[in-house]
């Protein structure tokens, strides 16, 4: 394998750099390696390794040539010449040069990278990793330093292979952990190596924690100055986050041994808080990421995740974490936007699902006497005023976490919603720091109409939807709020819901204007206001009644549903609002009841087109694949700098158009709202079908009307009956037309479904046909295998029977042989006994046998002679008869055919009979 790699590398040298250049470089590197391996003078060998280090670190062609042949030579130097420190240094420095990319930014992505190829080749050397780890125990500073650099390079490009190798080496990780106690340069290099080593390997993470990593990490952070430190603090926190990210037991160990005091101290702002360097920002972001990991409690697969999360929350609150987060996220105006956003996200995670922490946040105040205000008010002010989209999303997440399953908190916030005079509504938020939460929120909801900017109204609508979510009492309370008109002459006060619908229509017209001018300032306002309406109307008949009080509301929604210039998300949300007016409708007024709403939808939009809006909405990016919350990347050296520099975290990502819907909606429209819309869709479909199946009868047939009234003439009675019948016919015709419309809609729905089926039918048929052929071939192969199996089984039975028969024959032969042996032994014993008796008593057996043979031979010879005489006589007779027959014209051969065979057969039977007689 090694030779294949080397030959491949040599081939790449020729391919990339040309045959002439590569041969010169190969020969030069080969000469230097020969001097290192076979040189007699130590000084010459040192000079050769110095020359090799110089050319390898400066030229890619020499890097590639060295990678093809140099690693075994230098590893041999490291293994066998440990006493020559200068040679070992030179070998290690050469390896560092061979693994370090030269001008990595200049080459194209498809260009061969010799440093990466060399890293792969060196990591495949069996003795490489154990040898390098053993060098960490050397006393020489540069030996340890270069060794750590080589290990880091190997780990960066081949992490799985190096992680596996280190785990198999006794005390391998222990040696690396010992480097954290070494001199500063060695410590920093070892810290970087451990950071790479612990990113994905849980086994290594556990061993590193067992070796005292937490204590060593926080000691280094303190020595470097906590958040005011340099990149070393960032590396320490990245290593800490690697250890805490996936393993809940490591979080438990940190909480119960070291505690969270050292972590909290990193978040403290010291000295002049208005100076924030880029590195300090990154360090604070890394520490806040640690807080987020602790508030998460561990990976999703951990069984004890929830218990651990609650224990972490309790301990962190005891350590005054909320106060530090409020300072970083809200109170300090000098903190960078990126830090503020993450700090507020941590506040949201800290109070989510925890009533005590929610109450603690509600009781907190910001500022100093006399300029103090509740923390929630300050967060709301920031949400309404900030120009940064990510800061709005983070603050909105705080209110979402505060109101989630918190009826008391929602009621508390809703109770402060008191309208202000019109003049006060148009004052700037900063002019009155003592404004209540509700007044500030209403100010945001009703501002922006005059200057044509609905951004503030949109943000306030998102907060109001959190307050109203799943809380019927708050919905009823907010319905009573009326907004004062600018002038008494313009009419009576307007309800808050009607004002929201008015702003929704205004946003639509502003959006059309923005599209013509190629701007997108209000591209998501409609969706967020529609979210408020959907949340408000859900399970609240009073809100539905209030919405339908103004006839233009229904007309505008019908137009919005049918407007093809709107996004599928907007049309779908408008369809949901219309559906809520059906399923939560308790009105009995004609035209406003459920039947009237369904009738209008059928006439103006068409049921098939209406239901199609739901299908299109569910295919939008908000419902397919987009998470309800923004996913944040962990901070590393490569990513943290860009994130800290940005004044608008991920703002570039938000500007990328994945669809016509604004990407911010994936953050604001959370998973709860998406699930609510899905459940409402199912209820809307069911209720509309129910309304159509049980249509409202406009005129009740009263039997008394068919009877003639007293004093009524016949002509008047006939006239009244005729009018009644005409009215009935008109109503019947109306029902027939409506049912025809429904049938047409259902037919269109069926056709669209069939067209979709046909569109996908071609590929489905191909797939089904392929599967059918595969099944048929498999069945045929199965039958063949069954037949072969039956044949093999029959042969096995036959051979088994044959083996049994052969075994029986062998057994019988063995028995016969044993009996013959016994008989033979017995006869031999008798012969010996007879021999011992002497010749006078018994005759000579052998002599008797010889005489018998001679007599038999004489008798057989006589019989043979007689037989020959007879045969001669018979032969002469046959010859005479043959001549006579030939004269008579007979075919002698045909007459004699078969005569000898019959005689032979008779002779054989006679001989057999003779043998049987014998």
Give the Å distances, CA to CA, from 272 to 275, 331, 335: 6, 15, 11
Q: What b/e readout covers 834-853, taking b as 16+ CB neighbours within 10 angstroms? A: eeeeeeeeeeeeeeeeeeee
Task: Give Cβ neighbours of residue 773 (< 8 Å, ≥ 6 apart).
Answer: none
Which of these, 277, 287, 292, 137, lies nearest to 217 by C-alpha position?
287
**114-123 vs 2-17: helix crossing angle, rounded to 10:** 170
| 670: nearest Cα among 623, 634, 633 | 623
Give which of 433, 459, 301, 445 is closest to 377, Cα–Cα.
433
Give the count of beta carbons closer than 10 Å to the beta carbon of residue 648.
Answer: 16
Locate tokens 């003639």: which residue?
Answer: 708
Task: Report the C-alpha dihedral over residues 558, 563, 567, 570, rounded to 10 degrees.
Answer: -10
Contact 87, 81 (CB under 8 A): yes
Give me the numbers of helices (H) and strands (E) for the chain, helices first please: 44, 4
Pick the closest to residue 165 from 123, 194, 202 (CA basis). 123
257 DSSP 8-state letter: I
The answer to whether 179 and 239 have CB atoms below 8 angstroms apart is no
Torsion of CA 606, 608, 611, 615, to 10 degrees: -140
CB 502 within 8 A of CB 490: no
Q: How far apart are CA 662 and CA 667, in angstroms?
A: 10
Higher pLDDT: 172 or 884? It is 172
Is the model's pLDDT at 872 over the cut of 90?
A: no
Q: Token digits for 454?
A: 């609905």
Mean pLDDT value across residues 58-71: 88
Q: Sign (positive/negative) of CA torsion 796, 798, 801, 806?
A: negative
Of the candidates 486, 492, 409, 483, the one whose C-alpha atom is nearest the C-alpha of residue 450 is: 486
Cβ proximity of 495 and 484 under 8 Å: no
Question: Could you tell me the two tokens for 254?
Answer: 């940190």
Which H, E and C letters describe 304-373, residue by residue? CHHHHHHHHHHHHHHCCHHHHHHHHHHHCCCCCHHHHHHHHHHHHHHHCCCHHHHHHHHHCEEEECCEEE
The enclosing H or E element of 372 equals: strand 371-374
CA separation, residue 460 to residues 693, 792, 850 (Å): 41, 82, 139
Cβ–Cβ < 8 Å for 337, 648: yes
Residue 326, Ramachandran bin (φ over 0: left; ψ between -120 and 50: alpha; else beta): alpha
346 Cβ contact list (under 8 Å, min separation 6): 288, 291, 292, 295, 325, 329
Cα 776 to Cα 769: distance, rounded to the nearest angstrom: 10
Q: Of the candidates 756, 763, 701, 705, which has an alpha carbon nearest to the alpha carbon of residue 732?
A: 701
Q: How open is the CA angle 132-134-139, to the nearest 5 degrees? A: 105
Sign of the Cα torsion 243, 248, 250, 254 reads positive
Q: What is the pLDDT of residues 352-381, one digit of tens each?
A: 999 999 999 999 999 887 788 999 999 999
Predicted structure pTM score: 0.73
Q: Which two tokens stand for residue 17?
A: 């750099």
Tokens of 703: 């039997």
Share of the chain above pLDDT 70, in %: 76
* pLDDT score at 638: 61
Say what the pLDDT of residue 726 is.
76
Dist CA 853 CA 869 (whole Å): 25
Maximum average pLDDT range among 24-33, 425-434, 819-828, 829-838: 24-33
Indicate if the pLDDT at residue 13 is higher than 50.
no
Alpha helices in 469-593 (DSSP H): 472-479, 496-516, 525-537, 541-548, 551-562, 568-583
CA dist 581 and 564 (Å) reads 22
pLDDT of residue 450: 58
Q: CB-based burial of residue 270 (10 Å sphere; 0-12 exposed, 13-18 middle, 19+ buried)?
A: exposed
- DSSP secondary structure code for residue 374 in this structure: E
DSSP tag of 535:
H
pLDDT mean across residues, the chain: 80
Nearest Cα to 258, choosing from 239, 240, 231, 282?
240
Omega within 30 of 0 (cis) for the link into 370: yes
Query: For 738-795, how does the pLDDT look when each residue is reduced to its tens digit (9 = 90+)?
Result: 766 665 665 555 455 445 545 445 445 555 666 666 677 777 777 777 777 777 777 7
* Dist CA 244 CA 206 (whole Å): 10
* pLDDT, tens digit (0-9, with 9 covering 90-100), for 492-536: 788 999 999 999 988 888 776 666 554 455 568 999 999 999 999
The residue among 849 and 234 whose pLDDT is bigger is 234
Helix (H/G/I), strand (E/B), else coil: 320: coil
Predicted local distance difference test score (pLDDT) of residue 555: 92
Say if CB 561 and CB 606 are below 8 A apart: no
Cα distance between residue 328 and residue 558, in whole Å: 47
Measured CA to CA, the distance from residue 908 to residue 338 in angstroms comes to: 120
Whether 802 shows a pLDDT value over 50: the answer reads yes
CA of 572: how far to CAs of 339, 454, 844, in Å? 36, 21, 130
Backbone angles phi, psi at 235, to 5 degrees: -65, -40
Contacts of 299 (CB under 8 A, 6+ apart): 245, 246, 247, 248, 305
From 199-213, 638-652, 653-667, 722-736, the region with the lowest mean pLDDT: 638-652
pLDDT single digits (tens) 603-645: 899 888 999 999 999 888 777 754 434 444 566 766 665 555 5
Whole-angstrom distance, CA of residue 842 vs CA of residue 19? 109
366-423 pLDDT, tens digit each: 988 778 899 999 999 999 999 899 999 999 999 999 999 999 999 999 999 987 665 4
Averaged pLDDT, 33-46: 89
- Give the pLDDT confidence score for residue 843 in this predicted structure: 55
Cα three-residue angle 551-556-558, rounded to 5 degrees? 100
């Amino acid at each position: 394998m090694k030779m294949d790699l080397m030959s491949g590398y040599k081939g790449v040298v020729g391919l990339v750099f040309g045959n002439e250049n590569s041969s010169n470089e190969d020969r030069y590197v080969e000469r230097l390696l020969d001097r290192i391996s076979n040189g007699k003078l130590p000084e010459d060998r040192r000079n050769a390794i110095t020359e090799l280090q110089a050319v390898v670190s400066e030229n890619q062609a020499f890097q590639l040539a060295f990678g093809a042949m140099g690693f075994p030579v230098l590893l041999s130097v490291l293994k066998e010449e440990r006493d020559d420190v200068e040679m070992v240094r030179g070998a290690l420095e050469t390896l560092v040069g061979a693994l370090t990319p030269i001008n990595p930014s200049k080459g194209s992505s498809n260009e061969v990278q010799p440093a990466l190829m060399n890293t792969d080749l060196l990591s495949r050397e069996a003795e490489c990793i154990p040898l390098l780890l053993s060098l960490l125990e050397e006393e020489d500073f540069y030996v340890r330093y270069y060794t750590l650099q080589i290990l880091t390079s190997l780990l960066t490009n081949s992490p799985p292979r190096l992680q596996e190798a280190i785990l198999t080496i006794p005390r391998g990780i222990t040696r690396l952990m010992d480097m954290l106690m070494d001199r500063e340069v060695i410590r920093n290099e070892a810290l970087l190596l451990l950071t790479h080593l612990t990113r994905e390997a849980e086994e290594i993470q556990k061993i590193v924690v067992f070796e005292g990593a937490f204590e060593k990490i926080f000691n280094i952070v303190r020595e470097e100055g906590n958040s005011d430190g340099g990149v070393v603090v960032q590396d320490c926190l990245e290593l800490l986050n690697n250890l805490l990210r996936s393993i809940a037991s490591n979080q438990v160990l940190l909480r119960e041994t070291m505690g969270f005091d050292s972590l909290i101290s990193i978040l403290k702002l010291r000295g002049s808080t208005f100076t924030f360097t880029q590195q300090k920002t990154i360090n604070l972001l890394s520490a806040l990421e640690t807080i987020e990991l602790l508030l998460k409690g561990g990976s999703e697969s951990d069984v004890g995740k929830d218990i651990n999360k609650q224990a972490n929350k309790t301990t962190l609150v005891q350590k005054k974490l909320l106060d530090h987060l409020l300072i970083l996220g809200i109170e300090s105006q000098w903190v960078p936007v990126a830090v503020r956003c993450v700090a507020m996200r941590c506040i949201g995670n800290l109070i989510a699902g925890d009533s005590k922490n929610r109450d603690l946040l509600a009781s907190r105040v910001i500022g100093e006497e006399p300029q103090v205000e509740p923390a929630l008010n300050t967060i709301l002010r920031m949400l309404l005023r900030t120009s940064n989209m990510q800061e709005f999303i983070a603050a909105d997440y705080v209110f979402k976490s505060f109101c989630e399953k918190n009826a008391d908190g929602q009621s508390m916030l809703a109770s402060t919603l008191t309208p202000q005079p019109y003049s006060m509504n148009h004052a700037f938020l900063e002019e009155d720091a003592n404004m209540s939460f509700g007044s500030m929120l209403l100010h945001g909801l009703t501002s922006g109409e005059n200057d044509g900017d609905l951004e503030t109204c949109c943000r306030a609508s998102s907060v109001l939807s959190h307050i109203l979510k799943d809380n019927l009492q708050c919905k009823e309370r907010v319905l009573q709020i009326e907004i004062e008109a600018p002038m008494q002459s313009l009419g009576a006060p307007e309800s808050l819901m009607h004002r929201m619908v008015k702003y929704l229509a205004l946003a639509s017209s502003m959006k059309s204007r923005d599209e013509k001018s190629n701007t997108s300032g209000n591209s998501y306002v409609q969706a967020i206001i529609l979210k408020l309406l959907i949340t408000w109307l859900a399970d609240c008949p009073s809100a539905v009644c209030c919405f339908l009080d103004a006839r233009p509301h229904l007309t505008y929604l019908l137009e919005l549903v049918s407007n093809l210039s709107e996004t599928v998300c907007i049309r779908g949300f408008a369809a949901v609002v219309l559906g809520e007016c059906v399923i939560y409708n308790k009105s009995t007024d004609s035209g406003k009841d459920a039947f009237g709403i369904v009738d209008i939808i059928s006439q103006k939009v068409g049921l098939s087109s209406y239901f199609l809006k739901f299908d299109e909405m569910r295919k939008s990016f908000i419902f397919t694949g987009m998470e309800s919350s923004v996913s944040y990347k962990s901070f590393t050296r490569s990513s943290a700098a860009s994130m800290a520099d940005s004044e608008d975290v991920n703002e570039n990502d938000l500007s990328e158009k994945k669809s016509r819907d604004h990407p911010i909606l994936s953050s604001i429209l959370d998973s709860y709202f998406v699930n609510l819309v899905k459940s409402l869709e199912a209820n809307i479909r069911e209720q509309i079908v129910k309304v159509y199946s049980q249509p409202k009868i406009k005129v009740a047939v009263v039997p008394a009307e068919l009877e003639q009234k007293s004093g009524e003439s016949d002509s008047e009675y006939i006239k009244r009956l005729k009018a009644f019948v005409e009215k009935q016919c008109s109503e019947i015709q109306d029902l027939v037309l409506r049912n025809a419309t429904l049938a047409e809609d259902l037919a269109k729905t069926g056709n669209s479904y069939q067209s979709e089926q046909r569109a996908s039918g071609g590929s489905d048929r191909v797939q089904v046909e392929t599967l059918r052929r595969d099944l048929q071939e498999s069945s045929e192969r199965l039958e063949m295998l069954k037949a072969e199996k039956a044949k093999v089984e029959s042969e096995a039975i036959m051979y088994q029977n044959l083996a049994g028969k052969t075994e029986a024959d062998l057994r019988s032969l063995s028995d016969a042989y044993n009996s013959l042996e016994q008989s033979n032994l017995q006869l031999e014993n008798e012969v010996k006994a007879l021999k011992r008796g002497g010749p006078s008593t018994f005759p000579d057996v052998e002599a008797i046998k010889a005489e018998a043979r001679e007599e038999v031979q004489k008798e057989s010879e006589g019989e043979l002679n007689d037989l020959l005489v007879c045969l001669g006589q018979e032969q002469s007779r046959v010859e005479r008869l043959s001549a006579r027959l030939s004269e008579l014209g007979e075919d002698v051969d045909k007459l004699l055919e078969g005569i000898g065979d019959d005689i032979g057969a008779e002779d054989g039977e006679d001989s057999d009979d003779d043998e049987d007689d014998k």
